[in-house]
Amino acid sequence: MHNKELLKGTLTAIVLKLLADKGEMYGYELAQKVKEMSGQKILLKDGSLYPALHKLSKEGWLEFREEHIGKRVRKYYSLTATGIAQEKIESENLKEFMRTLKDLLFPDFTFKLA
Amino acid sequence: MHNKELLKGTLTAIVLKLLADKGEMYGYELAQKVKEMSGQKILLKDGSLYPALHKLSKEGWLEFREEHIGKRVRKYYSLTATGIAQEKIESENLKEFMRTLKDLLFPDFTFKLA
DNA sequence: TTCAATACATCATAATTCTATGTATTGTTA
DNA sequence: TAACAATACATAGAATTATGATGTATTGAA
């Protein structure tokens, strides 16, 4: 991102949402998916993503299983029950924030969030 | 805001945009306006706003004149020429970010930013 | 065989807003 | 008229969070 600060507070919502949609994903896959879906605009760094995944796991929102691909290890993360609830909260929160920001700064634009 | 972190990186854009619209405003007025326009959701604190105004002035984007209301002092801030240019950059930046986030997380919603 | 990509990880740093604290004036209301 | 809320500015330290730098190791392509 151009302005790195804008991303702050959104990473949790992004991870939870993608996992809610995909069921389970591993770290590297998540970073690639975000990159692809954002048109190469959001480039999650290792130094951001892995600590975030650990933190969300510690919160009890994620769990993971390890898969061994040859000699390489993948950690597939998925939402726990608490995580599913949290995903809804975070998504609604972010939507609300975007609505508010839109009203404040871009009132003339169409911006419908159900 | 519920999630304070979400606001990060948006404060500069907010201040520049309001000044672009209003011509000139003083600090306290800015905070009130943001509060009102956001439906009491974004509550800028003194500790955020005044340092931000100083920083933006130092960047050369704002200038101010002092007005004495009785014994009280008000600093009316306005955009410099550089500030006017910067406002456009910051606004477009934020719009672009919101578009990206929308594509990533809420692709089903209508979200038109010209 | 060299390099890019895959796949994980941690630590120190930077950036930004908030909390806490401070000073002082003005308007309201009990 | 006394107390309190609102107005109006300010700064220093704390908290949060993503990044940069760095590290290890495997796999596939040129």
Q: What is the pLDDT of residues B4-45, one digit of tens each?
A: 889 999 999 999 999 999 999 999 999 999 999 999 999 999
Sign of the torsion formed by the C-alpha atoms of B35, B39, B40 and B43: negative
Decide if B102 contacts A42 (C-beta within 8 A). Answer: no
pLDDT number for residue B88 = 97
Residues in chain A: 114
Q: Do the beta carbons of residue B77 and residue B27 sit within 8 Å?
A: yes
SS3 B62: strand
Which residue ranges form the domains of chain A, and what is each CATH number?
4-89 (1.10.10.10)
Integer-rounded Cα radius of gyration of chain A: 15
Q: Provide the pLDDT for residue B4.
A: 80
Residues of B with Cβ-Cβ distance to A1 under 8 angstroms: 97
Are B96 and B84 contacting, i.e. CB atoms less than 8 angstroms apart? Answer: no
Whether A97 and B4 lie within 8 Å, measured CB to CB: no
A99 to chain B: nearest residue by CA? B38
Interface membership of B72 toward A (CB under 8 Å):
no
Residue A72: what are its φ and ψ, rounded to 5°?
A: -95, 145
Q: Which of A95, A92, A79 is CA-nearest to residue A21?
A: A79
**CA–CA gap between residue B104 and residue B36 (Å, rounded):** 30
Burial (CB count within 10 angstroms: exposed 0-12, middle 13-18, buried 19+), residue B91: middle
Task: Test A109 with B113 for CB contact under 8 angstroms.
Answer: yes
Average pLDDT of chain A is 93
CB pairs < 8 Å spanning A and B: 102
pLDDT digits (tens, 9 = 90+) for B63-110: 999 999 999 999 999 999 999 999 999 999 999 999 999 999 998 877
Residue owning tokens 């061994």: A68
Return phi, psi of residue B59, to 5°: -70, -15
From the list A93, A97, A110, the residue facing B112 with the nearest CB is A110
Q: Which two tokens stand for residue B30?
A: 């800015």
